[in-house]
Chain A
Amino acid sequence: QITLKESGPTLVKPTQTLTLTCTFSGFSLSTSGVGVGWIRQPPGKALEWLALIYWDDDERYSPSLESRLTITKDTSKNQVVLTMTNMDPVDTATYYCAHGIVTTILGAGYFDYWGQGTLVTVSS
């Protein structure tokens, strides 16, 4: 059974760096064709893909946020960490991590299991 859970601060101040941890079970991030991604959703708004790390250490980022994001993995701990720098109130959102299945050489795929999400509020 695959499960994922996000953890991190619920409140951050503007200009601070956000660090979120996704702790998962039921799969290994060293298995070919597997990835873990981060997606966020501002209150009342649409899903926005942020980043993905693949089993082979390849990383992909949203072009609009790439300069602020870093995704890393610790396979031994079954964790994926996302850092986002220079937080702003517009970054207030529920942040999800999800298990990804890669279906093409290009690295395309989908998310078949999601964490429950964690609401992060950016405010002074």
Chain B
Amino acid sequence: SYELTQPPSVSVSPGQTARITCSADALPKQNAYWYQQKPGQAPVLVIYKDSERPSGIPERFSGSSSGTTITLTISGVQAEDEADYYCQSVDSSGTWVFGGGTKLTVL
């Protein structure tokens, strides 16, 4: 089965840059999407089609893709960015898949 692998945790200090990776276990890689989830809340889409930012999402959130690895970058991290982040994609058979999630801690 298609899997998306994320690091369990990432820690950064305020103002630094956080990078969260998501590795797909097979090619071809479809577009990837990123969601932010704060405790007790539903997920919020922060990046779609690898690198597009929905309206209302701060410019410090960006996405990129290289080979089978997708990266969410948060530049100038703020305390409010502390959350769980999930990548999502779709495999070649049309099955939607989420990564295991990464807990971002702002020190």
Contact = CB atoms under 8 A, between A and B. Distances in A.
Interface string B18-49: 00000000000011010101000011110011
A106 interface: yes
Sort chain A's interface into a size bin: 20 to 34
B100 A107 contact: no
Contacts, number: 69
Interface of A: 37, 39, 46-49, 52, 60, 62-64, 96, 101, 103-104, 106-112, 114-117
A39 B98 CA distance: 10
Sort chain B's interface into a size bin: 20 to 34
Contact of A112 (B48, B90, B96): B48
Given A46-B99, A60-B95, A108-B89, 4 more contacts: A37-B96, A46-B98, A49-B88, A116-B42
A49 B33 CA distance: 14
Contacts of A39: 98
A54 B88 CA distance: 18
Contacts of B45: 110-112
Contacts of B33: 110-111
B95 A62 contact: yes
Contacts of B1: 63-64
B51 to A, nearest CB: 13
B92 interface: yes
Contacts of B100: 46
B42 A108 contact: no
B12 interface: no
